[in-house]
Structures are given as structure tokens and as C-alpha cells.
Amino acid sequence: MLISFEGLDNCGKTTIVGKLKKYYDGLNILTDFTREFETNIGREIKEMSKAGVLDPVLKTYLFAADRYIRTKIYEEDYNSKIILFDRYYQSALAYRMAENIDKNWVKNINRIFREPDMIFYIDITPQESIRRNTDTKFNIIEFAW
């Protein structure tokens, strides 16, 4: 089963995914979790973002490549394990649309990904997202408010 978690930066995805992993481990239910920036391409996204050389088109391709590598790892596991995705392709749609990139183009690139069995959207306000932010946190989107 593939379960994904979405929401604004700092909404609490990683906290919830961590707690769920512990909970399922306690029940001996096989569970794994994954998030962006775990692959070489993911790390490159971070470096390019810090260097200011990422644009929305590059982000679309690179995040999809990072996601593709991670989905391949779990290809055989969806029927036997719970795979928790801390962000999935819905983030690509939301974040690229916010950057005025054509939704259908982003959708087409992300068509290769299996649909999640469940998506949890964690709803916080932009103000709360900013309030929870710390200087040490990596943000790929400049806060515009």
C-alpha cells in the first residue's frame, strides 16, 4: 500500500510519518518511509537550489527523477508493505502551478507514478507554516508573504 502525505512546508508531514512508522513497527506491520532528497538527484536538487540555479522546469524534471528512483526501490513492496511517502507527485502539481507552470505538462511528466492508495493532506495556514520555520530548515520555495 502506498500512502502519501501532503501539505505546506512545516505542516508536520515528517512528524506524522515518523510516528506512524513507529506505530506500525509496534504492530509488526512491514512499513517503510521515503522523502525527497534521499537520492543523488535529490541531493543535487538541494545544491542547485542553494546555488540559485534551479528553475521551475528543472524542478519538474529533477523532482520527478528523484521520485522515480525511490518508487523503483519499492516496486515489489506495495502489496506486502505500507510505504509512506512524505510528499508524492501531488506536490509537483501544487508547487509548479504556484510557479505558473502548465498543470497538464506537469501531470504528463508525473503520469508514470502509481496512484496512492491514500493521500493525507495536512491543513495549516501559510502563517503557521512561516511561524514554524527555522533558519536551519531548508526551503526550496522562497516565502513570498
Q: Minimum distance from CB of 62 to ligand LXEULUCI (Å)?
A: 9
Chain positions contacting ligand ATP, by CB under 6 A: 9-15, 132, 137
CA–CA distance, 56 with 50 (Å, rounded to integer): 14
Q: Which is nearer to ligand ATP, 102 or 123 (CB)?
A: 123
Partner interacting with residue 91 (select from ligand LXEULUCI, ligand ATP, none; CB below 5-8 Å by kind): ligand LXEULUCI
CA–CA distance, 7 with 1 (Å, rounded to integer): 20
Chain positions contacting ligand LXEULUCI, by CB under 6 A: 9, 35-36, 59, 63, 87, 91-92, 95, 139-141
CA–CA distance, 112 with 48 (Å, rounded to integer): 25
Partner interacting with residue 132 (select from ligand ATP, ligand LXEULUCI, none; CB below 5-8 Å by kind): ligand ATP
Nearest to 87 by CA among 24, 3, 6: 6
Q: Which is nearer to ligand LXEULUCI, 7 or 31 (CB)?
A: 7
Question: Which residue stretches of the chain are H helix?
Answer: 13-26, 40-51, 56-73, 89-97, 103-109, 126-131
Q: Which residues pair with 83 in a beta bridge?
A: 2, 32
Partner interacting with residue 140 (select from ligand ATP, ligand LXEULUCI, none; CB below 5-8 Å by kind): ligand LXEULUCI
